[in-house]
Structure 1
Amino acid sequence: MSKLALVTGATSGIGRAFAERLAADGHDLIIVGRRKERLDEFAAAHPRAAVRVVAADLSTDAGIDTVAGIAAAEPVTMLVNNAGVAHYMPLADLPAAKAGEVVHVKVVAPTLLSRAVVAGMLERGAGTIVNVAGMLAFSGPAPHSQMPRRAVYTGTLAHLVAMSQTLSAELEGTGVRVQVLVPGVVATEFHERQGMDLSAVPRMPAADVVSAGLRGLELGEVVTAPGVEDAGLLEAIFRAGLAAFGAQSPELATRYRLS
């Protein structure tokens, strides 16, 4: 069976690294991004691969609708929801338009694109959905002194983790796999667009993130953290969450009762 991958945010960083690796592995590609010249350059550099270029802005409803229509109509075997937008700032400082862009790109687009491909994948009994989030998804409890505040961006990544885990459970036994990829700081243009100089900070190459993601799929992981050596740390987080979920009661907890 032919392999067709749709990769969003394919003009640079992790998205481009995914496109490079998947093309080398024999996938036909639908690559999505805002900068058409970069998409065209990628296609021209890969004449042996069937590459379809889609210039679309996933921070808009129109852009999402365009890509979702293509995703639903084509026999996509792998969807990589990688597109991102670098709006790092506290909620009180974040303009409404930028807050909307973050939510569209990291919540609405992955949700609707996953919905667009999943019916065909279920019909074929095979397929893979990869959602690219980040380790900031687990940073919520950190004090301000340890982690700069970026509530909206962090919240969207946490959404991707929970959605991917739940969607994986929904699709259990169907042949359709779901993974959320949670890298740490990666050597891409992402932070530069925020005016952040991280040249002195150790950063993982984007190609390593992709290698971890593909190996994680082979291992059957739903949550793949490329830079976390002790996978038990993640398992402990999820066990604790399930324990709290299972420990709920219709009775008011003692600490909330008036004395």
Structure 2
Amino acid sequence: MSKLALVTGASSGIGLAFARRLAGQGHDVVAVGRRADRLEALAAEFPDVRIRPLVADLSTDAGVDAVAAVCAGEPLTMLVNNAGVAHYMPLAELPADKARELVHVKVVAPTLLTRAAVPGMLARGEGAIVNVAGMIAFSGPAPAARLPRRAVYAGALAHLVAMSQVLHAELAGTGVRVQVLCPGVVATEFHERQGLDLSAAPRMSAEDVVTAGLRGLELGETVCTPGVEDTGLLQRVFDADLAAFGGQRVELAGRYRS
């Protein structure tokens, strides 16, 4: 049976690296992006593999619906929700149109594309969902001096982490795997489009991120962090989450009683 992957944000960066890697491994690929010229160039790199360019803007309902129709109607073996926009700025300075675009691309689109793809994967008894987030998802407790404020961006990535973890539990034993891929700073065009010059900063390659993601699927990792050597750090975060969740009571906590 042929393998079919759909990759969003496939015209550059991590998405392009995913599309190339999967095509090199024999997958047919639906490559989703906004730039037709780049998608066509990608397809030309692999004449022996079917790479189908799909031009769509995932910041719009029409774009999400068009890609969701493919996710629902074709036998995907892998869905990579990678498309992203940065818009790094404090909430009070974030224009409404940019806030809407960010939430649509990083929250609405992956949620609806996953919802479209999962029923078919369940019926076939196999499949993989990879949601590309980032380590900023874990940066919420950081003080102001530590990181630039980017509340909406961090919140969108945190949504992908929580959704992926819960969906992994929902689909346990079905043959459908779920992963959220959380790289740190990656050497792509992503930050340049935001006007940030990180050329002097140490950055991971997009190819290494893809290597980690695919190997993480083999290892059964739900949260894949390519740059974190000590996985015990993550486990302690998750253990603390569950301890806090389990520590709630119906009585008002003492600190709130006058």
Number of the residue aligned with 2:158: 158
- Quote the Cα distance in structure 2 between the aligned partners of 1:212 and 1:70: 27
AA aligned opposite 1:147: L
Counterpart AA for 2:219 = L
AA aligned to 1:96 is A
Q: Partners of 1:170 and 1:80 in 2: how far apart?
A: 19
Task: Give the CA deviation at 1:208.
Answer: 0.1
Report the counterpart of residue 49 of structure 2 in structure 1: 49
Letter aligned with residue 2 of structure 1: S
Q: Which string of whole-angstrom CA distances, capped at 9 and with x for unpartnered residues, describes residues 79-128 of structure 1?
A: 00000012110000000000000000000000000011100000000000
Q: Which amino acid aligns with 2:21?
A: R
For 2:46 and 2:100, locate their aligned partners in 1 and report how far apart those are by CA, in whole Å.
Answer: 34
Aligned-partner residue type, residue 251 of structure 2: E
Mapping for residues 92-131 of structure 1, pairs under 5 Å: 92-131=92-131
Deviation readout 1:203-236 (Å, 9 max, x if unpaired): 0000000000011011100000000000000000
Structure 1 residue 70: Cα displacement: 1.1
Partner of 1:187: 187
Match of 2:26 in 1: 26
SS in 1 for 2:54: strand
- Distance in 2, matches of 1:140 and 1:182, equals 15
Structure 2 gaps, min length 5: none
1:174 alignment partner in structure 2: 174
The reply to whether residue 138 of structure 1 matches residue 141 of structure 2 is no
Indicate the residue corresponding to 1:80 in structure 2: 80
Distance 1:147 1:53 in 2: 37
* Structural mapping, 1:200-211, within 5 Å: 200-211=200-211
Secondary structure in 2 matching 1:142: coil
Q: What is the identity, as a one-letter code, of the residue corresponding to 1:59? A: S
Classify the secondary structure of the residue corresponding to 2:252: coil
Give 3-state SS (helix, strand or coil) of 1:30's partner: strand
Displacement of 1:45 in angstroms is 1.4
Residues 23-81 of structure 1 deviation map (CA, whole Å, 9 limit, x = unaligned)? 01110000000011100110011111101110000001110000001111110000000
Using the TM superposition, give the Cα deviation of residue 179 of structure 1 relative to its aligned residue in structure 2, in angstroms.
0.1
> Could you say what secondary structure the match of 1:178 adopts?
strand
> How far 1:163 moved relative to its partner?
0.1
Identity %: 73
SS in 1 for 2:7: strand
- Structure 2-normalised TM-score? 0.99
Task: Give the length in aligned residue pairs.
Answer: 258
Letter of the 1:142 counterpart: A
| Counterpart AA for 1:29 | V
Report the equivalent of 2:228.
Answer: 228
Deviations 1:105-162 (A, max 9, x none): 0000000000111000000000000000000000000011011100000000000000
- 2: CA distance between counterparts of 1:51 and 1:73? 17
Partner of 2:71: 71
Q: Distance in 1 between matches of 2:16 and 2:57?
A: 16
- The DSSP-based 3-state class of the residue aligned with 1:64 is helix
**Unmatched 5+ stretches in structure 1:** none
Counterpart CA distance in 2 for 1:99 and 1:86 is: 10
Within 5 Å, give how 1:2-21 maps onto structure 2: 2-21=2-21
Distance 1:111 1:139 in 2: 22
